[in-house]
């Protein structure tokens, strides 16, 4: 099913932009599959919500950039303090990396996926159900058709070759 990520409603027959399948979406789908609750919808952003979604995406990109800079500076500051103090503690290095990872993970709560383009397209409705074929005329209906019907036809019997007299 093709749904809008802003409204959770179908976008069939409406103008929308497809959402890129990135690592985060793949990870979420993998977790949902493992739990047995995956719906495997195709994700879109409808035209009405596209501008709002692009603003959310820009905000997410800024926050992830800011968090990565802060995490890097934090890890460097802790490691520099360790080396300047003259003693090396493995637990301090591990804790600095854990705090840095935590700071990097915080912006994921504001996650807004990227879109494939900024120009919405009409999303096609599902194809209509196939119509029943009209009945064949009586002559055509009486004729056998297909390979099975041809195989059922009797083949002419082979004549046995006559033996030569010696």
pLDDT at 72 over 80: yes
- Residue 119 DSSP class: S
Give the burial class of 145: count Cβ atoms within 10 A of its Cβ; 0-12 exposed, 13-18 middle, 19 or more buried: exposed
pLDDT at 82: 87
Q: Give the domain extent around 45.
A: 2-120
Specify the 3-state DSSP secondary structure of 90.
helix
pTM, 2 dp: 0.66
Residue 123's pLDDT band (boundaries 50, 70, 90)?
confident
17 inside domain: yes
Query: How many domains does the chain divide into?
Result: 1
For the chain, first and last CA: distance in Å?
83
Residue 134's pLDDT band (boundaries 50, 70, 90)?
low
- Burial letters for 31-52: b for 16+ Cβ neighbours within 10 Å, e otherwise? eeeeeeeeeeeebbbbbebbee
Backbone angles phi and psi of 44, in degrees to 5: -135, 165
143 inside domain: no
18 inside domain: yes
157 inside domain: no
40 inside domain: yes
**116, 18 Cβ separation under 8 angstroms:** yes
154 inside domain: no
98 inside domain: yes
């Amino acid at each position: 099913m093709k749904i809008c990520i802003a409204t959770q409603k179908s976008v069939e027959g409406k103008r929308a932009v497809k959402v890129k399948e990135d690592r985060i979406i793949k990870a979420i789908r993998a977790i949902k599959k493992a739990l047995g609750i995956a719906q495997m919808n195709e994700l879109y952003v409808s035209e009405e919500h596209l501008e709002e979604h692009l603003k959310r995406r820009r905000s997410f990109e800024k926050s992830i950039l800011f968090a990565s800079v802060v995490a890097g500076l934090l890890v460097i500051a802790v490691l520099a303090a360790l080396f300047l103090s003259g003693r090396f503690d493995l637990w301090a290095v591990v804790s600095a990396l854990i705090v840095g990872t935590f700071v990097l993970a915080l912006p994921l709560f504001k996650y807004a996926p990227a879109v494939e383009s900024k120009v919405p397209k009409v999303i096609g409705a599902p194809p209509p159900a196939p119509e029943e074929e009209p009945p064949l005329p009586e002559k055509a209906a009486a004729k056998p058709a297909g390979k099975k019907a041809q195989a059922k036809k009797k083949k002419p019997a082979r004549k046995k070759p006559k033996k030569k007299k010696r």
